[in-house]
Amino acid sequence: MIFFSICSILPSLFVFVTGGKLPEPEVKIEVLHKPFMCSRKSKYGDMLLVHHEGFLESNGTLFFSSRKHGDQNPVWFTLGIQEVLKGWDKGLSNMCTGERRKVTIPPSLAYGKEGKGKIPPSSTLIFEIELMEIRNGPRSHESFREMDLNDDWKLCREEVREYLKKEFEKHGYSPNDTNHEVMVEDIFKNEDEDKDGFISAREFTYQHDEL
Ligand SMILES: *[C@@H]1O[C@H](CO)[C@@H](O)[C@H](O)[C@H]1NC(C)=O
Ligand SMILES: *[C@@H]1O[C@H](CO)[C@@H](O)[C@H](O)[C@H]1NC(C)=O
Ligand SMILES: [Ca+2]
Ligand SMILES: [Ca+2]
């Protein structure tokens, strides 16, 4: 049972890893509209439905609008798994349904030195984003069992990290991304309610919609 030892060794190693964290590029967030009622705020693992307009900061060109382009519908994405841009994960958390934000994303958290399609190399991007709806992410019993590598009905940090790695690799990201450590910490902060260092099956399954 190799995973028993992994789970018990990792916490000390983990402190060491996060201690040497590099400063990360920042996303600038401006709130354009905040609804009066806000019963729930977006967090990692949630699925968000958004309308968005993307502009080049350099000259203000609109390169994408979900209201004008494609099928003109808002789009779903899962927060915190780099499904869109790194800068979206940073810029769209803690957001209320109905809130509108202007999010300025440096190239390193967007399309980088290469650029992509209509996005020139090293572009800072500005998104105007309206959050239409928040839903619980896929939190099935099956995914808990899949993440729980040693079958002890609770998730340790290493198990969560292994899972993130797999998810990131599915989306074509390098398996050694340092953001995983930050994300694991964030996940434990939100999900490990009794702070015992594990996410129990109950903590995982029961999603508290905090005020
Ligand atoms: C803005 O910049 C982009 C990329 O450099 C360029 O393709 C576009 O023509 C520019 N638009 C204007 C209005 O200057
Ligand atoms: C992964 O590791 C390689 C080699 O150490 C490094 O060049 C690369 O930048 C790393 N990738 C990430 C996303 O940290
Ligand atoms: Ca476990
Ligand atoms: Ca716990």
pLDDT in tens, 92-147: 999 999 999 999 999 999 999 999 999 999 999 999 999 999 987 766 666 788 89
Distance CA 85, CA 107 (A): 10
For the cut 90, the answer to whether the pLDDT of residue 74 exceeds it is: yes
pLDDT digits (tens, 9 = 90+) for 148-183: 999 898 999 999 999 888 887 877 777 766 678 888
Radius of gyration of the chain (CA): 18
User: Which ligand is closest to the CA of 174, given by its number?
Assistant: 2
Q: What's the residue count for the chain?
A: 211
**pLDDT score recorded for residue 141:** 67
CA-nearest residue, atom 4 of ligand 1: 120
* CB of residue 56 inside a 6 A radius of ligand 1: yes
Distance CA 12, CA 5 (A): 12
For ligand 4, a single-atom ion, the residues with CB < 5 A are: 192, 194, 196, 198
Q: What is the Å distance from ligand 1's center to 92 Cα?
A: 27
Residue 209, judged by CB atoms within 10 A of its CB (0-12, 13-18, 19+), counts as exposed
* CB of residue 62 inside a 6 A radius of ligand 1: no
Q: What is the Å distance from ligand 1's center to 59 Cα?
A: 6
pLDDT digits (tens, 9 = 90+) for 5-27: 445 544 444 444 444 455 668 99
CA-nearest residue, atom 2 of ligand 1: 59
Residues 27 and 87: beta-carbon distance below 8 Å:
yes
